[in-house]
Amino acid sequence: MTDNSSIYLNIADLSFNITKYSKLVVKAIGTKYCSHIANGKIVDADLDEYQQYKRKCPSFSHDALVSLALHSSVARQLPSEDCFIFHSAAISYRERGVLFAAPSGTGKTTHISLWKKNLGNDVSIINGDKPIIRINQWEGSGGCAMAYGSPWAGKEGWQTNAKVVVDSIVFIDRGDRNTIEQVSPDRVLERAMRQTYFPPSGVAKVQTLELLGKLLSSVRLFILSCDMTDGAFKASYEGLFGPLLEG
């Protein structure tokens, strides 16, 4: 690996400068996020953890290991830039962003598939697994959160290099009935922390917790209990946006 040219990974209005092994990054990540031109504030990134992941995950492909190492480097830098990774599926519906959060295997992928099935092109998937959340400058009790696409999108690969203002977060539970309830931040803080990536640095952990608190205070919060039928879509849509107009 002797490639010493520079590539920028442009995500979340930041440009991560990759000065070593940039061709490997382009191959692993694709060209959607990579450019020789910086489109935001420049932040350094590296592949220093590649060998660690190779030992931990010997069955992973070379490209997957490069992607994991880059993810770790980017995630460590994010909190100092008012950003963090929130494990969820982020969609945009008529320019309003919704994050669907749940433990792996609960059904968030199936649920956003129902949104696409029922609403078609009115819904775009920003990221299916690991969107980056940016907390905009905070003045008093004001501010807003943005959800950005990232190259780390789960096995479906649902992602786009786009952004949307977050309107709501929906925490999904599996259930026999389809019900949705708007709740206060204290009801979902523990759930939200489980969905948040906390970097190893103590300072970054504190920064991330503060950013998470601002996210939860700036959006509407819901708990959705649902099955995997169209009734689940109807319940979540109407809880978020009001009666669904048929046809």
For position 247, what pLDDT does the model report? 52
Give pLDDT tens digits for 23-48: 889 999 989 999 999 999 999 999 99
Q: What is the percentage of the chain residues whose pLDDT exceeds 70?
A: 94
Of 9-18, 62-71, 132-141, where does mean pLDDT reach its minimum?
Answer: 132-141
Mean pLDDT of 209-225: 96
Annotate 3-49 with three-state secondary structure. CCCCEEEEECCEEEEECCCHHHHHHHHCCCCEECCCCCEEEECCCCC
Q: What is the pLDDT of residue 2?
A: 40
Residue 1: per-residue pLDDT: 36
* pTM of the model as a whole: 0.92
pLDDT band at 4 (very low <50, low <70, confident <90, very high): low
In the predicted structure, residue 173 carries a pLDDT above the cut 70:
yes
